[in-house]
């Protein structure tokens, strides 16, 4: 069993517990009352094709690194990200390995005016209603975790609920599946979720398979501004950053630095294209 398989087992167990307390009908009633989702696709495209947008993450822990930051006030951290120019906030809601929660999602949603990503392992339709009920504008679909039929069903449900999907890939065949789906926000996670190994060069290797009419998101492997520049130099239009921001001590300034580094490199990439 891979690390991804093990995580999903726990996700399903925790999901069953939540379903015992809140029915799907209750979630649907709540969804009818929440404000419409913000347009994450527009936010991630940015004001200019030369910009590299930052999805800044509220992330307490990870399976590979363990505890990263206590984050006693996720709303405060999210507001600091927004002040730095983040295009969206990613909130981990997986409990066992990432120490996240839907409470974190609620706190962040109330604190910022930009799109919020519910970052979790989506394996059941209930989770999508749950995400929208808690104010999410964007959800993560991991191609490696879903067969074609389920991926399509989840993708369609995401849009029926007014949200956008960040469709995460790790290999050429997964990018092919994302493109066939019609995904407009495609992520390349340079962390192999089956082994947790990180290889930043994987983004460059996969860049040739990525459609230029989609928002291309580089995920994982960012520890400094140069990493953002490297991704941008191979076509990334956005980066998703967690650990480097929660440990920076100056999240607002870190987001600004990442955006600046990305802008310079992406200008050079576009000029050479």
Residue-wise pLDDT for 131-175, tens only, equals 999 999 999 999 999 999 999 999 999 999 999 999 999 999 999
Provide the mean pLDDT of the chain: 95
pLDDT the model gives residue 181? 96
Q: Which residue out of 119, 174, 192, 248 is catalytically annotated?
A: 119
Q: Name which of 129, 92, 84 is nearest 108 in CA terms.
A: 92
Query: Rounded CA gap, 195 and 209, in Å?
Result: 23
Model confidence band, residue 62 (pLDDT cutoffs 50, 70, 90): confident
Q: Which residue out of 189, 192, 233, 248 is catalytically annotated?
A: 189
Whichever domain contains 219, its CATH number is: 3.20.20.70
Q: Which residue out of 51, 219, 243, 248 is catalytically annotated?
A: 219
pLDDT the model gives residue 177? 98
Say whether 23 is catalytic: no
Query: Rounded CA gap, 37 and 138, in Å?
Result: 8
Domain range spanning residue 203? Answer: 3-272
Contacts for 145 with CB less than 8 Å, ≥ 6 apart: 4, 8, 121, 123, 193
Q: Which residue out of 220, 233, 243, 248 is catalytically annotated?
A: 220
pLDDT tens digits, one per residue of 98-135:
999 999 999 999 999 999 999 999 999 999 999 999 99
pLDDT tens digits, one per residue of 184-207:
999 999 998 878 899 999 999 999
Model confidence band, residue 256 (pLDDT cutoffs 50, 70, 90): very high
> Are 127 and 156 contacting, i.e. CB atoms less than 8 angstroms apart?
no
Model confidence band, residue 56 (pLDDT cutoffs 50, 70, 90): very high
Say whether 224 is catalytic: no
pLDDT the model gives residue 64? 83
pLDDT the model gives residue 196? 85
Task: List, in sequence order, the alpha helices (H) in 23-171.
Answer: 24-31, 40-45, 74-83, 102-111, 125-133, 148-160
Say whether 57 is catalytic: yes
Number of structural domains the chain divides into: 1
User: In which element (H, E) is residue 254 found?
Assistant: helix 251-272
Q: Which residue out of 59, 130, 164, 184 is catalytically annotated?
A: 59
The neighbouring-strand residues paired with 117 are 90, 138
Give the mean model confidence (pLDDT) for residues 215-228: 96
Q: Name which of 264, 195, 197, 182 is nearest 231 in CA terms.
A: 264
Query: Rounded CA gap, 111 and 97, in Å?
Result: 25
Residue for token pair 């209930």: 126
Q: Which residue out of 50, 57, 94, 243 is catalytically annotated?
A: 57
Do the bridges between strand 116-119 and strand 66-67 make them parallel or antiparallel, or are there none, so unpaired? unpaired
Say whether 220 is catalytic: yes
Say whether 82 is catalytic: no
């Amino acid at each position: 069993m891979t690390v991804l398989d093990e995580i999903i087992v726990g996700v399903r167990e925790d999901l069953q517990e939540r379903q015992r307390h809140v029915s799907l009908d209750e979630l649907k009633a709540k969804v009818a009352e929440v404000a419409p989702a913000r347009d994450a696709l527009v936010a991630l495209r940015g004001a200019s094709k030369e910009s590299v947008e930052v999805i800044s993450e509220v992330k307490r822990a990870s399976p590979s690194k363990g505890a990263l930051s206590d984050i006693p006030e996720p709303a405060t951290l999210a507001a600091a990200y927004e002040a730095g120019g983040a295009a969206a906030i990613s909130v981990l809601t997986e409990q066992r390995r990432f120490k996240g929660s839907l409470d974190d999602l609620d706190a962040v949603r109330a604190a910022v005016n930009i799109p919020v990503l519910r970052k979790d392992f989506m394996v059941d339709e209930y989770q999508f209603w749950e995400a929208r009920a808690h104010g999410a504008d964007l959800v993560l679909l991991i191609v490696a975790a879903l067969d074609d039929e389920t991926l399509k069903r989840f993708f369609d449900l995401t849009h029926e609920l007014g949200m956008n999907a960040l469709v995460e890939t790790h290999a050429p065949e997964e990018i092919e599946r994302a493109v066939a789906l019609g995904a407009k926000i495609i992520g390349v996670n340079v962390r192999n979720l089956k082994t947790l190994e990180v290889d930043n060069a994987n983004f460059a290797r996969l860049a040739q398979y990525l459609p230029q009419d989609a928002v291309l998101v580089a995920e994982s492997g960012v520890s400094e501004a140069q990493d953002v520049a490297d991704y941008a130099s191979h076509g990334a239009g956005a980066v998703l950053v967690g650990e480097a921001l929660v440990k920076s001590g100056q999240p607002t300034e870190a987001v600004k630095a990442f955006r600046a580094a990305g802008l310079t490199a992406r200008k050079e990439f576009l000029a050479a294209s």
